[in-house]
């Protein structure tokens, strides 16, 4: 297999690429047969010329590198190689929680209450560590806790990843502009409506994740994203006890408290949530059972992808790391995904568009999966355009001023290029076919007339 050298790493295989960054499975080698596999995320060339984007990228690396915890995916390294900034992340052998829940739903199953309690305790521990200032570091608010940013390993370990839009606790509790970033169904109302946040904002998002894991559906899903936000603001959702009647009452009560619309009605912090879930702490066998579940789903997913989409999957998995793609800037009125820079409002007729909420993401998430999950990650990844044309601009969905004045949410959907229009037939060919049709009709008519005359004679 061919590899591409990138500083201290060998880029073995491209995992995915979006509008602003691309990720690779990479290997770092050392003396004595030392070998470490990591996920290398590097900025696309065009955005290297954007000082604000590079600044935000380095801030993401700085914040994430300070968070050393057993339930937070680690930043191994970050730096610059030949003018290209990169971030090397721990490679987790498993799948994200979003994939796990989806695969279970496909089989008519859910996580068990003890497994949900395990996920809740581990993620609460990760948030408690992140929110609490430590030596030489500030506490940070994640602002995008969602199933796609939770990784579950084949050993049943739980990791919170992607602190790309995190902000320091105390240093900033409101965004610089009226643009907030994240996934709508998991947004706390104070963040979505007023662009304010603190640790309780992350706890709300965690509560939505746990509700979905235990109840089999998200609590606030509406017909549109605006409808979803209005349900979030009102706290309108089916009672979790009706969806999971066999779940322990303390677990249901804790999750219901997490998703209350008023921050003061939630737990005061992640430590308080840990205390509430402590009596439900599952035995060690539950983690093992969760790992077995992930391994089984990984193998079935790999087989399914091999049988259903062998060409595309195999090409993405086996192709050598490509050269840098060429891109250009998005439209001037489109905000970047990792910048809080203000942008001009859209046209008056622009409404709140409905998109797949799982794809509304603040920036290109790295793909820290094992080999069996790389196929799925790459199948859903945005493909790089083969020409010098840039990727199409992000889709943004401004909120109506009557519902939520002054706030807009950047909803970022798939960035796949549109299908090329069908080629139009040439005018000369159309004319020739028309003439041929007329001549055929005349000849047929003349032949019929001659036959009739012959029969009469």
The pLDDT assigned to 427 comes to 66
Read off the pLDDT of residues 109-156 as tens digits, 9 standing for 90 and up: 999 999 999 999 999 999 999 999 988 888 889 988 999 889 999 999
The pLDDT assigned to 416 comes to 38
pLDDT at 2 over 90: no
69 in any annotated domain: no
Please, what is the angle between helix 199-215 and helix 249-258, to 10°? Answer: 130
Read off the pLDDT of residues 220-246 as tens digits, 9 standing for 90 and up: 999 999 999 999 999 999 999 999 999
Between 439 and 305, residue with greater pLDDT:
439
| Mean pLDDT rounded to a whole number for the chain | 74
Considering the domain architecture, whether residues 384 and 454 belong to the same structural domain is answered as: no
208 in any annotated domain: yes
454 in any annotated domain: yes
pLDDT at 157 over 70: yes
The pLDDT assigned to 170 comes to 45
Considering the domain architecture, whether residues 379 and 449 belong to the same structural domain is answered as: no
Considering the domain architecture, whether residues 189 and 216 belong to the same structural domain is answered as: yes
Q: In the structure, what pLDDT confidence band is assigned to residue 452 with cuts at 50, 70 and 90? A: low
The pLDDT assigned to 369 comes to 41
Considering the domain architecture, whether residues 394 and 448 belong to the same structural domain is answered as: no
29 in any annotated domain: no
pLDDT at 370 over 50: no
Read off the pLDDT of residues 269-295 as tens digits, 9 standing for 90 and up: 999 999 999 999 999 999 999 999 999
Beta bridge partners of 180: 409
The pLDDT assigned to 161 comes to 86
The pLDDT assigned to 90 comes to 87
Considering the domain architecture, whether residues 137 and 254 belong to the same structural domain is answered as: yes
Domain of residue 397, CATH code: 1.10.510.10
Considering the domain architecture, whether residues 363 and 232 belong to the same structural domain is answered as: yes
The tally of domains found in the chain comes to 2
pLDDT at 3 over 60: yes
Considering the domain architecture, whether residues 415 and 445 belong to the same structural domain is answered as: no
Read off the pLDDT of residues 19-51 as tens digits, 9 standing for 90 and up: 678 888 899 998 888 898 998 988 888 888 888
Q: With pLDDT > 90 as the criterion, what percentage of the chain qualifies?
A: 38
Considering the domain architecture, whether residues 387 and 348 belong to the same structural domain is answered as: yes
Considering the domain architecture, whether residues 307 and 429 belong to the same structural domain is answered as: no
88 in any annotated domain: no
Considering the domain architecture, whether residues 112 and 197 belong to the same structural domain is answered as: yes
- Does residue 144 have an active-site annotation? yes
The pLDDT assigned to 1 comes to 57
Between 162 and 191, residue with greater pLDDT:
191
> Of these residues, 122, 144, 340, 364, which one is catalytic?
144
43 in any annotated domain: no
Domain that holds residue 121: 93-320+336-420
331 in any annotated domain: no
Q: In the structure, what pLDDT confidence band is assigned to residue 322 with cuts at 50, 70 and 90? A: very low
Considering the domain architecture, whether residues 282 and 142 belong to the same structural domain is answered as: yes
Considering the domain architecture, whether residues 221 and 184 belong to the same structural domain is answered as: yes
The pLDDT assigned to 166 comes to 59
Q: Which of 77-81, 96-100, 169-173, 289-293 has the lowest mean pLDDT?
A: 169-173
403 in any annotated domain: yes
The pLDDT assigned to 61 comes to 78
The pLDDT assigned to 331 comes to 52
């Amino acid at each position: 297999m061919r590899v591409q050298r990138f500083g201290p790493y060998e880029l073995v295989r491209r995992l995915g690429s979006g509008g602003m960054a691309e990720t690779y499975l990479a290997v770092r080698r050392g003396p004595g047969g030392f070998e470490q596999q990591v996920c290398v995320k590097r900025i696309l060339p065009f955005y290297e010329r954007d000082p604000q984007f590079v600044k935000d990228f380095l801030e993401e690396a700085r914040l994430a590198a300070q968070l050393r915890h057993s339930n937070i995916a680690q930043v191994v390294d970050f730096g610059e190689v030949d003018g290209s900034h990169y971030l090397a992340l721990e490679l987790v052998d498993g799948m994200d929680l979003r994939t796990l829940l989806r695969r279970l739903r496909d089989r008519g199953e859910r996580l068990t209450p003890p497994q949900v309690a395990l996920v809740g305790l581990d993620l609460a521990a990760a948030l408690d560590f992140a929110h609490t200032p430590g030596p030489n570091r500030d506490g940070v608010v994640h602002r995008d806790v969602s199933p796609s940013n939770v990784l579950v390993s084949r050993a049943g370990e739980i990791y919170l990843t992607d602190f790309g839009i995190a902000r320091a606790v105390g240093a900033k509790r409101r965004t610089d502009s009226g643009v907030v970033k994240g996934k709508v169904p998991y947004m706390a109302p104070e963040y979505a409506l007023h662009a304010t946040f603190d640790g309780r904002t992350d706890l709300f998002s965690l509560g939505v994740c746990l509700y979905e894991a235990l109840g089999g559906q998200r609590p606030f899903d509406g017909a549109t994203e605006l409808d979803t936000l209005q349900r979030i603001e009102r706290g309108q959702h089916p009672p979790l006890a009706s969806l999971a009647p066999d779940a322990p009452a303390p677990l249901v009560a804790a999750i219901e408290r997490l998703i209350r619309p008023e921050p003061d009605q939630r737990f005061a912090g992640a430590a308080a949530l840990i205390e509430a879930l402590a009596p439900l702490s599952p035995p060690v066998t539950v983690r093992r059972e969760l790992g077995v579940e992930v391994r089984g789903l990984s193998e079935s997913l790999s087989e399914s992808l091999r049988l259903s989409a062998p060409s595309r999957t195999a090409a993405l998995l086996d192709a050598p790391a490509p050269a840098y793609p060429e891109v250009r800037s998005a439209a001037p009125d489109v905000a970047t995904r990792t910048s809080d820079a203000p942008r001009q409002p859209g046209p008056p007729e622009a409404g709140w568009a409905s998109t797949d909420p799982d794809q509304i993401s603040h920036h290109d998430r790295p793909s820290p999966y094992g080999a069996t999950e790389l196929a799925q990650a790459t199948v859903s990844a945005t493909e790089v355009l083969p020409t010098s044309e840039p990727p199409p601009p992000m889709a943004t969905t401004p909120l109506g001023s009557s519902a939520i004045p002054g706030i807009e949410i950047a909803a970022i959907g798939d960035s796949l290029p549109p299908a090329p229009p069908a080629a139009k037939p040439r005018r000369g060919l159309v004319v020739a076919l028309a003439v041929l049709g007329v001549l055929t009709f005349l000849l047929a008519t003349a032949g019929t007339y001659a036959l009739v005359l012959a029969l009469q004679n």
